[in-house]
Homo-oligomer: A and B are copies of this chain.
Amino acid sequence: MGKGHQSLLGFDFKIFFVLSVALNVGLISKVLYQGEEGNQENKISMICLDTKGSRHGDAHISMRRTLAYTTTSNNVTEDSSGGDDIVIDLDHGNPAMYEEYWKHRGDEITVVIPGWQFISYFSDLKNLCWFLEPELAKQAIRLHNLVGNAVTQDRHIVVGTGSSQLYEAILYALTTADSPEPMSVVSATPYYSAYPLQTNYLKSGLHRWAGDAQNFSTNEPYIEVVTSPNNPDGSIRQAVANGDKGILVHDLAYYWPQYTPITHQADEDIMLFTISKSTGHAGSRIGWALIKDPEIAKKMTKFMEISTIGVSKESQIRAARILQAVSDDYDSISTVNDDDRFFDYSYSFMVKRWNELKAVVDKSEKFSLPKLPPDTCTFSGKTFEPLPAFAWLKCEEETVDDCASYLRSHKILTRAGKHFGASSKYVRISMLDTSYKFKILTERLSKLSTMKSREF
């Protein structure tokens, strides 16, 4: 009979425990799985209480409370000791790293909502986007003007339940029901893995995913999504598709000074932003679009009306408060230390993380990272190489065709390159998760780099 959880042939109680936990983890990972269907990569997943638990206490305490799972072949068993056996999930872009900053800032940045507020569907009937809280509009404009990352004059703001809803809203706004064929939607590889799914999951007759913009050529109208800085690889992008009837959607979720040098005020017709990545409040589900054409803004508003009758007022008010706090720190009358100002803090944080990751990867022959050119940031005055929210890591070894599987076998969960329309030699790794997970990541990559191939 089996003497431990490595034995699968006996009827030891531990085996049932292992199978039971494996089943649970399988179910959870299925739920957790984000962005693509049919992905087999998350069959082993980590349950990390700090994504929720840390709300109620110190981040470091909650990290120690992390529940982890060790993997043994196809089975998974619980292990709360940490160490080599812990599975770290860096597949998602959960911006957990920001929690520490906002805790440090304390209770000053608090919203209080009495029971009688937000009864109405309506926020501002004078606004084209009638469910947009005026304070959110005001603070978004203020922050863009402070950072200098987007033109806000002559723009309509449309708020969405995260930038995901704005993406669907803009597809709806740019297409027409009377068109005989769905409009093609493209983006250059590697593109954000959610775009194909969001474009196609309802089998819409309005739009269809047409893949890589670089190999796309048409005489028909089409939509090109320009994500800059790009998710997953952090590159600065321009439209590339070949056609004269393209409509450009600029997803600028990462065009903030902790991730990339701000080089100019983006002045595009359609620009999408989200608080998930700008300040890290992913749970609030607040995004906003800056839209030049009022007819497009109206149709996006219509989409929000049909799909969700507007956007949470509580989240909007909270987002406004957060954005206000960020701007306030840069006011001349602010008493906050320069280093504690949001963009200064988060920039330094990203510099530190990228230095640590590069220190490991640069001396490794097994892994590589994209080389992104430095530029001078008009906001901070600093010259630096981009500090993307994700590491677009390549497995350089000839023997490793599937980088995600390779890393998974070493208990690092990442998102495989194929989901971004790219080679399986690449993976996307979140750089925004907890310090605890990031530390394990760098330690493990360092260890893998010094291992000989046959040890794989």
Contact = CB atoms under 8 A, between A and B. Distances in A.
A96 B111 contact: no
B172 A202 contact: yes
A326 to B, nearest CB: 10
A142 interface: no
Contacts of A198: 306-307
Nearest to A131: B283
Contacts of A310: 283, 285
B110 A52 contact: no
Contact of A92 (B47, B121, B194): B121
Given A119-B102, A125-B51, A164-B307, A203 B201 contact: no
Residue from A99, A116, A285 with most neighbouring chain B CB atoms (10 Å): A116
A305 B33 CA distance: 9
A153 interface: no
A103 B117 CA distance: 8
A94 B112 CA distance: 23
Contacts of A120: 51-52, 94, 96, 99, 282-283
A436 interface: no
A47 B126 contact: yes
Contacts of A117: 55, 283
B312 A30 contact: no
Interface string A99-129: 1011101111111111111111111111011
A309 interface: yes
A372 interface: no
A162 interface: yes
A156 to B, nearest CB: 11
A110 B110 contact: no
A114 to B, nearest CB: 5
Interface in A172-221: 172, 177, 182, 194, 197-198, 201-206
A312 B298 contact: no
A280 interface: yes
Contact of A102 (B101, B116, B285): B116
B125 A48 contact: yes
B197 A164 contact: no
A436 to B, nearest CB: 14
A85 interface: no
Contacts of A111: 112-113, 314
A24 to B, nearest CB: 8
A112 B311 CA distance: 20
A311 B124 CA distance: 22
Nearest to A45: B125
A161 interface: yes
Interface string A31-67: 1101000000000000110011001000000000000
A342 to B, nearest CB: 10
A126 B451 CA distance: 36
Contacts of A282: 118-121, 309
A329 to B, nearest CB: 12
A73 to B, nearest CB: 24
A423 to B, nearest CB: 25
A415 interface: no
14 contacts: A28-B126, A94-B121, A99-B116, A105-B116, A110-B113, A110-B114, A110-B115, A111-B112, A162-B308, A164-B307, A172-B201, A201-B306, A202-B202, A284-B314
Interface of A: 27-28, 30-32, 34, 47-48, 51-52, 55, 92, 94-96, 98-99, 101-103, 105-126, 128-130, 161-162, 164-165, 168, 172, 177, 182, 194, 197-198, 201-206, 276, 280-286, 298, 301, 303, 305-315, 318, 321-322, 325
- Kindly list the 4 A-B residue pairs having the minimum CB-CB distance in the complex, ordered from nearest: A203-B205, A118-B283, A109-B115, A102-B116
